[in-house]
């Protein structure tokens, strides 16, 4: 699964996706600077992450959302189960995800993500990123929840089978959309679930590199560039 990642700041998002500031819809500050240790959580502004979506005209806009999808039909502003990841095998049919899968898709910009490997000496965190260190576009879904005047917009990251590099450490990885598939993924005109599945299945994996990082990343309060620095094995 993907439960911890590095979110790029506004400068990198603006430069890489060419989203002008007049198309920012961010009520919070989470997109202002790079965040090196983002963790999912309900009801905490620290869990808000930058999200790219398309409006009704197909224009890209940047906003930020809670990283823990809250279904629109939920009676309460929290759910008792994990929705920060959606499995590619069931995302089109699961009750929490099937509607946004057809109508509310997004990109979640990332510089990389972390996974933990269980070793005899304990759990070792690894950092995964693109070989050229350019931003990645995680395939995501977003949702709008509103009740009694309270509004929550939230998102989830779709996860699938790992590539060769990731498989050494973990059995899941975020679905990464290449540049040529991103507009199609975001398009509000694409609403057929089978067509959406084809977009996911055709996503060519980025060339990824990995390295060990310090165990300090296990504490979500630690959020600085040191989190992604390479460390050597014991």
Residue 204: CATH number of its domain:
3.90.1680.10
* CA of residue 10 relative to chain centroid, distance: 16
- The number of distinct structural domains making up the chain is 1
Does residue 66 lie in a domain region?
yes
What pTM, to 2 d.p., does this model score?
0.95
In a structure prediction context, what are the per-residue pLDDT tens digits for the chain, which is 234 residues long?
Answer: 789 999 999 889 989 998 877 787 765 455 678 999 999 999 888 889 999 999 888 889 999 999 999 999 999 999 999 999 999 999 999 999 999 999 999 999 999 999 999 888 889 999 999 999 999 999 999 999 999 999 999 999 999 999 888 888 999 999 999 999 999 999 999 999 999 999 998 776 678 999 999 999 999 999 999 999 999 875
d(CA 30, CA 51): 10
Does residue 233 lie in a domain region?
no
Report the pLDDT value the prediction gives residue 30, as an integer from 0 to 100. Answer: 57
Which residue range is the domain that position 205 belongs to?
5-228
Longest Cα–Cα distance of the chain, Å, equals 54
Tokens 């299945």 belong to 201
d(CA 189, CA 133): 32
């Amino acid at each position: 699964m993907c439960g911890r990642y590095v979110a790029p700041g506004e400068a990198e998002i603006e430069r890489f996706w060419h989203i002008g500031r007049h198309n920012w819809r961010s009520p919070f500050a989470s997109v202002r600077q790079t965040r090196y240790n983002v963790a999912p959580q309900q009801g905490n502004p620290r869990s808000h992450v930058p999200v790219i979506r398309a409006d009704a005209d197909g224009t890209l806009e940047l906003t930020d959302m809670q990283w823990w999808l809250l279904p629109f039909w939920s009676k309460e502003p929290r759910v008792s189960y994990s929705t920060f990841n959606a499995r590619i095998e069931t995302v089109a049919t699961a009750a929490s995800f099937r509607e946004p899968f057809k109508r509310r898709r997004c990109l979640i910009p990332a510089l990389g993500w972390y996974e933990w490997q269980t070793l005899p000496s304990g759990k070792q965190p690894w950092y995964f990123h693109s070989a050229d260190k350019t931003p990645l576009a995680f395939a995501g879904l977003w949702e709008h929840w509103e009740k009694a005047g309270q509004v929550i917009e939230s998102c989830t990251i779709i996860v699938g089978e790992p590539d060769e590099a990731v498989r050494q450490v973990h059995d899941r990885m975020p679905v990464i959309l290449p540049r040529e598939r991103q507009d199609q993924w975001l398009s509000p005109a694409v609403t057929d679930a089978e067509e959406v599945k084809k977009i996911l299945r055709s996503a060519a994996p980025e060339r990824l590199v990995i390295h060990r990082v310090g165990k300090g990343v296990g504490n979500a309060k630690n959020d600085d560039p040191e989190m992604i620095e390479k460390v050597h094995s014991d």
